[in-house]
Structure 1
Amino acid sequence: MKRPVISQPDPVAFIKANLPISAVPCIPEIRLHTAGPASGLWRLAGRGEADPAPYWAYPWAGGAVLARHLLDQPETVGGRRVLDLGAGSGLVAIAAAKAGAVAVTAVDIDANAIAATGLNAAINDVNIVAVAADIIDEPPPETDLLVVGDLFYEPTLALRVMAFLWRCQTSGIEVLIGDPERPYLPQRELSRIATHAVADFGAGTGGGAVPAGVFTLRHQLKAGIMPGGQAATA
């Protein structure tokens, strides 16, 4: 039996009307449109009320830990081009822009997420190029740093993402990953460079803090590339 067609509202108007603006817990420097119990996100997604809410509408721990790390370590992005893969509503991209990146691109496959990113960039007074696309089977992008938060929640996707990240690293792009060590995070291929306690609304913690890590590819460190693009010294 086919589901009834659900008309979808304009995403910008819907987000403005139904997702209130609030500071991100543990990251008070950034404010976002964030979903609440009465947001009715199923209407924007064009799905049924019982379907799960879209990921972009909440600040997940992987994005939160990357945002916190970039704001605390602005030399990581200062003067560099940054691409936020799976950007959601733009939390990490906004942090990169605030920390001094010369150009920031946010990429997500969900057009509603891109609409939210544009609104959130304006709220935080930063410039971000937001693109709705799936690029992980494409050649590496033109960027200096690729940041990836919360994309290791499903096994097939995790494999595709890691293959893309290795291609990016081989082409000279630095990679930073944020994740609260979900089961499909390939930790044997990664090196932890930082840990922060951050809120993880999407995991159903009610906004409580959870430990999350910032990781880089192991070979990236072995090759003498330190976080921030600086050469390692003996």
Structure 2
Amino acid sequence: MPLTPHRVDPSGFIAANLPLTAVPFVPELRLHMATPASGLRRMLEATGAPGSPYWAYPWAGGAVLARFVLDRPQTVAGRRVLDLGTGSGLVAIAAAKAGAASVIAADTDPNALAALCLNAAANGVKVETWAHDVIDGPAPDVDMILAGDLFYETGLAARVTAFLDRCLDAGVAAALVGDPGRAPLPRQRLRLLAEYAVADFGAAAQGGEKPAFVFSFQADTPSREA
């Protein structure tokens, strides 16, 4: 008879095994982050989570986007904000800390949302969670979209670009992108707002700090024939 996998409560596992640590480059915020001793693979196997646990580590695009928002709170103050592909919730938490009127954090990974809820509570903010894939759907009723580290794969980049287009067409006031300059970025649609030097996850063994950027996503302006 096959053995039944041991059930693991994601929130309890994360709280017990992923220490609450100040985020590199954004030290005023603390997240539950994985270490070699966390036993994260055991949790992933027990919960049957799809894909990689991106939410367990701080990535460069999210880090610089959070830094930008905290340093320029007027960017989000009083606005309804959606953090797309929130992962650990770093950007969503930064927006809430900076005075956003409300913050929605969307991610399809239930383990990410479990981590987000713990992280939001640890940082003393409230964040609404959406557990469905919003990218192929209609524009949400918000004022701003924040998107960190979502342009790492060509197919996903195309979907995110189309979603941001729908959002701007529907009246969303602004969309900001944080990214270390990955190849699938739609560079012709981006306006540079800030550049930082930050270590991406795993980059310590590959040269340490490297440039990462915050962009404003621009509406597509069709060319007009004479």
Which residue in the other structure is 2:159 paired with? Answer: 160
Which residue in the other structure is 2:224 paired with? Answer: none
**Alpha-carbon distance, 1:159 to partner:** 0.7
Which residue in the other structure is 2:92 paired with? Answer: 93
Which residue in the other structure is 2:212 paired with? Answer: 212
- Structure 2 Cα separation of the partners of residues 147 and 169 of structure 1: 13
- Structure 1 Cα separation of the partners of residues 132 and 51 of structure 2: 22
Distance change in 2, residues 1:169/1:8 (3 Å) = farther
Q: Is the 8 A contact 2:203 2:209 kept in 1?
A: no
Alignment pair present for 1:30 and 2:34: no
Identity of aligned residues (%): 57
Distance change in 2, residues 1:166/1:71 (3 Å) = same
Amino acid at match of 1:129: E
Which residue in the other structure is 1:180 paired with? Answer: 180
- Structure 1 Cα separation of the partners of residues 103 and 115 of structure 2: 16
Amino acid at match of 2:58: P
**Alpha-carbon distance, 1:53 to partner:** 4.5
- Structure 1 Cα separation of the partners of residues 209 and 198 of structure 2: 5
Q: Is the 8 A contact 2:82 2:104 kept in 1?
A: yes
The correspondence of residues 140-155 of structure 1 with structure 2, limited to 5 A, is 140-155=139-154
**Alpha-carbon distance, 1:205 to partner:** 2.9
- Structure 1 Cα separation of the partners of residues 203 and 218 of structure 2: 31
Counterpart secondary structure, 2:219? helix
Distance change in 2, residues 1:189/1:43 (3 Å) = same
Q: TM-score, normalised to structure 2's length?
A: 0.89
Any idea what the Cα deviations from partners look like across 1:74-105, whole Å, max 9, x if unmatched? 00000111110000010000000010001011
**Alpha-carbon distance, 1:209 to partner:** 2.7
- Structure 2 Cα separation of the partners of residues 186 and 37 of structure 1: 35
- Structure 1 Cα separation of the partners of residues 90 and 194 of structure 2: 18
- Structure 1 Cα separation of the partners of residues 36 and 52 of structure 2: 10
Any idea what the Cα deviations from partners look like across 1:41-86, whole Å, max 9, x if unmatched? 1122227xxx984111001001001000000000000011111000
The correspondence of residues 1-234 of structure 1 with structure 2, limited to 5 A, is 6-46=5-45, 53-173=52-172, 174-201=174-201, 203-205=202-204, 208-219=208-219
**Alpha-carbon distance, 1:195 to partner:** 1.0
Instruction: Give the gaps of 5 or more residues in structure 1.
Output: 223-234
Q: Is the 8 A contact 2:150 2:156 kept in 1?
A: yes
Number of residue equivalences: 215
- Structure 2 Cα separation of the partners of residues 149 and 66 of structure 1: 7
Q: Is the 8 A contact 1:8 1:43 kept in 2?
A: no
Distance change in 2, residues 1:127/1:52 (3 Å) = closer
Q: Is the 8 A contact 1:42 1:53 kept in 2?
A: no
**Alpha-carbon distance, 1:155 to partner:** 1.0
Q: Is the 8 A contact 2:60 2:149 kept in 1?
A: yes
**Alpha-carbon distance, 1:7 to partner:** 4.0
- Structure 2 Cα separation of the partners of residues 154 and 5 of structure 1: 35
Counterpart secondary structure, 1:31? strand
Distance change in 2, residues 1:79/1:57 (3 Å) = same
